[in-house]
Chain A
Amino acid sequence: MMAATLCGKLLPKQGWLPVTQSVRHGSKAVTRHRKPIHILKQKLLAVTKYVPPTPVVPKGAYPSERQEVKEESGFVLLLKRELKKLFQDYKMVAVAQNCNSNAEDMRILKHRLHRHGIAVKFFPNQVMCSFLSDSVYSNMAPLFIGPTVLFVSKEPKVKEMLTSLRSSPQMTLLGACIDNTLLSAQGVVSYSKLPSVSVVQGELVSGLAMMTAHTASMLQRHPAHLSALLQQYVKQQSSEEAPKAEEAT
């Protein structure tokens, strides 16, 4: 730039060019401090400044209509898969709340339950609730508040579990899901008092057999006995109907 202005004056003789030429001497564009902006540029910037539109309703006054869908992290998905497997494999899933049990108590309890084949599991409540609300077992969701422990076993060994829990005073049994049926604490206690399936089946069979055996024995007797019995029965029926008819009228 300077070289161009020099041409007019400092070239007395033709073909003479200065040895050194200073280019851009003076104020720099890129400075280390904040260079004061030219007044015209300042005015332009002030006029064209961005003014955002003011919202009619201040932020946070109403809840947002769109619900933020948070993607679940890999750990949460892993836990959910485990829970799904848990509910499929294990027949008995019991929920208890432990106020305060130190590591020693937990160790003893785990050992006692392991002897009967009951496993002790811990899951975060949030994951548990979200899993349960999607699955069939949604009615179990209100149980999971505060520090909860899951006792799971493949065979429903309720009596042993109750005896081990009675020895640790700080565990409170809240409910259980046995064979896809939700039971309360009292339901669990009554379930433990039930006799086993084979015993119940035997009782049922014997009861039915008794009825048929009774009928068979009655038929095997003399038919006169049977006819006498039937006549008596008819008399009783008619005598019952007569007073009933009298009461009605």
Chain B
Amino acid sequence: MAASSKSAVVLKAVKKIAVQFCPFESNVRSTREFLLFVGSEKARSTNMNCEVITTVKHDKSEPVVDVTFVDGERLLMKGAKLTTREMLSAFQSRCTAKDPQAKAGVKK
């Protein structure tokens, strides 16, 4: 948790985040914690247009995080066997990869 709070989540390049999980399953912990991080005030203040949609299901399906970026790319994370840190690092690496490109393009 301390490692992920050092670099705050920057959502500037993200259009929509759809999280779906079934709370009665036992493999849901990492997805729920990912949702907490992404839905926190700090993360949401970086981009007010980004929507975070949560769907609570009850069909023993796997927890899935579907991220749609501004440039149309989609990141699908199946959180059944992933830890929160892995999910966050993958997500953040893609965000920062897209973000400085946009910033550098604007500056130039």
Smallest distance from the beta carbon of B36 to chain A beta carbons, Å? 6
Complex Cα distance A147/B40, Å? 12
A185 touches B56 (CB 8 A): yes
Complex Cα distance A17/B54, Å? 105
Answer yes or no: B41 CB below 8 A from chain A CBs. yes
Residues in A neighbouring B35, C-beta threshold 8 A: 99
CB contact list, B1-57 vs A, under 8 A: 23-26, 28-29, 32-33, 35-36, 39-41, 44, 52, 54, 56-57
Given contacts A145-B29, A145-B32, A146-B32, contact A170 B39 (CB under 8 A): yes
Complex Cα distance A52/B25, Å? 49
A139 touches B24 (CB 8 A): yes
Answer yes or no: A97 CB below 8 A from chain B CBs. yes
Complex Cα distance A186/B29, Å? 20
- Which secondary structure dominates chain A's binding surface? mixed
Residues in B neighbouring A97, C-beta threshold 8 A: 32
A145 touches B24 (CB 8 A): no
Complex Cα distance A30/B32, Å? 67
Residues in A neighbouring B40, C-beta threshold 8 A: 99-100
A146 touches B41 (CB 8 A): no
Given contacts A146-B33, A174-B23, contact A100 B39 (CB under 8 A): yes
Answer yes or no: A184 CB below 8 A from chain B CBs. yes
Residues in B neighbouring A185, C-beta threshold 8 A: 56-58
* Contacts A/B (CB < 8 Å), 16 sampled: A100-B39, A100-B40, A102-B41, A142-B26, A142-B28, A145-B29, A145-B33, A146-B33, A170-B39, A172-B54, A175-B24, A184-B57, A185-B56, A185-B57, A186-B56, A186-B57
Instruction: Please give the residue numbers on chain B whose beta carbons come within 8 Å of chain A beta carbons, in ascending order.
Output: 23-26, 28-29, 32-33, 35-36, 39-41, 44, 52, 54, 56-58
Given contacts A146-B36, A173-B56, A185-B58, 7 further A-B pairs with CB under 8 A are: A97-B32, A139-B24, A145-B28, A146-B32, A175-B23, A175-B24, A186-B57
